[in-house]
Structure 1
Amino acid sequence: MYKSILINKKSTIALAVVCSLMLAFTSCSKKEKEIVAQQKEETKTTNQYPTASIQFINPEYSISIPAELKPYEQVAIYAKVNGFVKQLFVDRGDHVRKGQLLAILEAPEMEQQYLSSKSSEQKIYSDYLYSKQAYDRLLEASKTNGAVADIELERAKSVMESAKSAHDASKAGTAHSSQLQQYLRITAPFDGVITQKNVSVGALAGTGSNTPLLMMAQGAKLRLTVSLPEKHASSVSKTLPATFTVSSQPNKTYNATLSRTSGLLNKDDRSLTLEFDVDNLSAELQGGDYAQVNLKLQRKAPSYWVDSKSILRTQSGIFVLTLKNDEIKRIKVNEGIRMESLTEVFGDFSSEDNVLLKPSEEIKEGPINL
């Protein structure tokens, strides 16, 4: 009897163990099937909508744009007064120093005006000296009580002061005539080279002429002027380096560093003008050359970048499609800089977003229906 009960007990335990194992196996099979199904769904989603992660970076990038080399200083030289060209000391291509005499004008009436002003000044100065002596004598005599009436002393003083004022005015007139004579001598305003000569000896020059006597420029130092497109304006640093080439020296590359910029966009072409000073003591470069400039730029802060293929351009705007939690969203963006296969975009993004690599207008927003 006891043996029979023991056997039944063992059978019951064995049966329970077998049932537990079967349940565990069934449960594991269900979980495995769920995992496999989920993986299949994810694979199907991935295959149907391939994605790439959005990048939040701040890369350095290069652009190549045309520029122009200009003389550091350039000026048209006009005559300040009317006169005939008496002598010319320079011609096109002559190198001159600051203050060097370039031309002399002739104006006889100006010399006569100066002589007349000088003569009037001397006469008025004599009148002033006489009135001053008269006042000094009356002042000395007035020290004796009752010798000179006070009104007489005041009258002499007034005459002397009037004569002094007249002399000062005459002196200023003479200085004016003298200064006009100085304008007959035309000198160089800075070191440079004469680039154009428009008159000959005997020609009439003066304020009524729209043609300059001479044109001169500074060639030992040049300005490299670059018009940078608006979208790159915020990527300019104070020490921006540049390399450039010119067609006249095709095998040479020149270096320069940013010298100045206004910081304001040109309203005509929406560009930022940059200037680089270039030393040209060897005279290899010519003012007026066109150059091809390479700039290395970088934003002041990181921004979002996506694969260029993931941008959808439609009639209603430019968009990027994002996929998150099996839901597609269409986000309107503005394009920025392009760099190889990446494009900078500005929109309502987060760094966790993934963007569709093959967007199309047929793809609708909302949950994915698989």
Structure 2
Amino acid sequence: MNRLIQKPYPSLLALVGGLFLLSSLTSCNSSEGKEDATEAPTGPAAVDVFALKRGKLSSSLQLPGELVAFRDVDIYAKVSGYIKALHADVGSEVRQGQLLALAEAPELSAQVASAESKLKAQEALSIASKANYERILEASKFSGAVSKNDVDQALAKRNADLAQLDAAKSAYREVSDLKKYLEIRAPFDGIISARNASTGAYIGPAGKGSEFPLFVLTEQKKLRLVIAVPEAYTGYVDQNDVVSFSVKAFPDKKFTGQVKRQAGALDKRLRSERVEVDVINNDKKLLPGMVAEVNVPLPTKANTLIVPKSAIVNSTKGVFVIKVNNGKAEWVPIKKGLEADEQVEIFGSLAEGDQLITDATEEIRDGLPVNVKK
């Protein structure tokens, strides 16, 4: 039994010795690798740079807009009466001054007749007082025929009658003008887009017999395209700029117009400026109320500094470009402007000709040396 127990010992010793030798070799190799790694040189990062230049960047802004009539007016009767005849209906194209409807008001005709009779009576009185004054004045030229007081009274009567005549004329014109209001005419060229009365209907001024307007007249050959330009882009929109747009009714057609009016103030709720574009619509394909998809060009005002997007670093501290200054990286804070075609308009403490790193990353630390590729 003792012999059987002692046999394995030589093999066990050989195994332990082999493991120890392997461990020693591995440790030596590891140490040598670390020494090699430590001894490897670490030079400055090699980077591509470009010379900063000025340029003009053009972009565009997509905005929703609404087409509205250039002029749109509710037409009410100025005096109360009844519709005698209608000369226009929905869809009628009318010219300025064209008769749209004729009303009648019997009481108004009576007022005109009364004013006319008063005017004629006053004219007769004025003629008589004038003649009387002239006779007295002629008689006063003979000594003792007429007193000075009689002449003054005759003159005062003539002047009073003349004043009454002027008042009668004014009253007659006033009533006559009211009668003209029974003729309802178009204030400008356009199309009748609504009619709310028929022959025989009672009409009158707004709130006095007419809840709805008699007609709605819309100018359709010229429209306003209303858009709301966000605050950040208001500086790029100018008078007479040409914009293009499309509508759902004609998705394959592009329409254009010119910027003609700007509000000059921001909407306090939307933080945007109201801009109106004049659109010529001679073929009347476009209709007021249509929603448009508008393309607003946004060219830069003058030559500005332009860089590729890859040259900008967006970090937690802000937005930067990295300038190479005396062989070292210098982080320069900037503000971005328009973006188009992988190019960005920037503003900051930079000058034309500065050397900027093309592919800027946060790994290129501020102040570290850099190696510019040739």
Measured at CA, do residues 273 and 332 of structure 1 come closer, stay the same or move farther in structure 2, by a change above 3 Å?
Answer: same
Measured at CA, do residues 365 and 80 of structure 1 come closer, stay the same or move farther in structure 2, by a change above 3 Å?
Answer: farther
Q: 2:275 aligns with which of 273, 280, 293?
A: 273
Q: How is 1:334-345 mapped onto 2 (pairs within 5 angstroms)?
A: 334-345=335-346
| Distance in 2 of aligned mates of 1:99 and 1:246 | 33
1:217 is displaced (CA, Å) by 0.9
| Distance in 2 of aligned mates of 1:110 and 1:46 | 97
Query: Which runs of 5 or more residues in structure 2 are unaligned?
Result: 1-41
1:153 is displaced (CA, Å) by 0.8
Amino acid at match of 1:345: I
Q: Which runs of 4+ in 1 moved over 6 A?
A: none
1:245 is displaced (CA, Å) by 2.7
Residues 85, 205 of structure 1: 8 Å contact kept: no
Which residue number in structure 2 is paired with residue 261 of structure 1?
261
Q: 1:182 aligns with which of 168, 180, 183?
A: 180
Residues 242, 259 of structure 2: 8 Å contact kept: no
Deviates more, 1:86-95 or 1:158-167: 86-95
Q: Percent identity?
A: 30
Deviations 1:288-346 (A, max 9, x none): 32333334442331112222244444565444443322444444433221112112122
Query: Which runs of 5 or more residues in structure 1 are unaligned?
Result: 1-39
Amino acid at match of 1:271: E
Residues 45, 370 of structure 2: 8 Å contact kept: no
Deviates more, 1:172-181 or 1:213-222: 213-222
Measured at CA, do residues 329 and 183 of structure 1 come closer, stay the same or move farther in structure 2, by a change above 3 Å?
Answer: farther
1:155 and 2:153 correspond:
yes
Which residue number in structure 2 is paired with residue 198 of structure 1?
196
Residues 125, 167 of structure 1: 8 Å contact kept: yes
Query: Number of paired residues?
Result: 324
Amino acid at match of 1:206: P
| Distance in 2 of aligned mates of 1:369 and 1:192 | 71
1:224 and 2:221 correspond:
no
1:239 is displaced (CA, Å) by 4.6
Amino acid at match of 2:264: L
| Distance in 2 of aligned mates of 1:181 and 1:158 | 35
Which residue number in structure 1 is paired with residue 360 of structure 2?
358
Which residue number in structure 1 is paired with residue 4 of structure 2?
none
| Distance in 2 of aligned mates of 1:113 and 1:177 | 7
Amino acid at match of 2:288: G
Residues 93, 190 of structure 2: 8 Å contact kept: yes
Deviates more, 1:137-146 or 1:186-195: 137-146
| Distance in 1 of aligned mates of 2:316 and 2:167 | 78
| Distance in 1 of aligned mates of 2:263 and 2:323 | 37
Residues 235, 299 of structure 1: 8 Å contact kept: yes
| Distance in 2 of aligned mates of 1:355 and 1:219 | 55
Q: How is 1:248-327 mapped onto 2 (pairs within 5 angstroms)?
A: 248-256=249-257, 258=258, 260-262=260-262, 264-268=264-268, 269-271=271-273, 273-278=275-280, 280-313=281-314, 317-327=318-328
TM-score computed with the length of structure 1 as normaliser? 0.76
Which residue number in structure 2 is paired with residue 247 of structure 1?
248
1:87 and 2:101 correspond:
no
TM-score computed with the length of structure 2 as normaliser? 0.76
Which residue number in structure 2 is paired with residue 34 of structure 1?
none
Residues 260, 274 of structure 1: 8 Å contact kept: yes
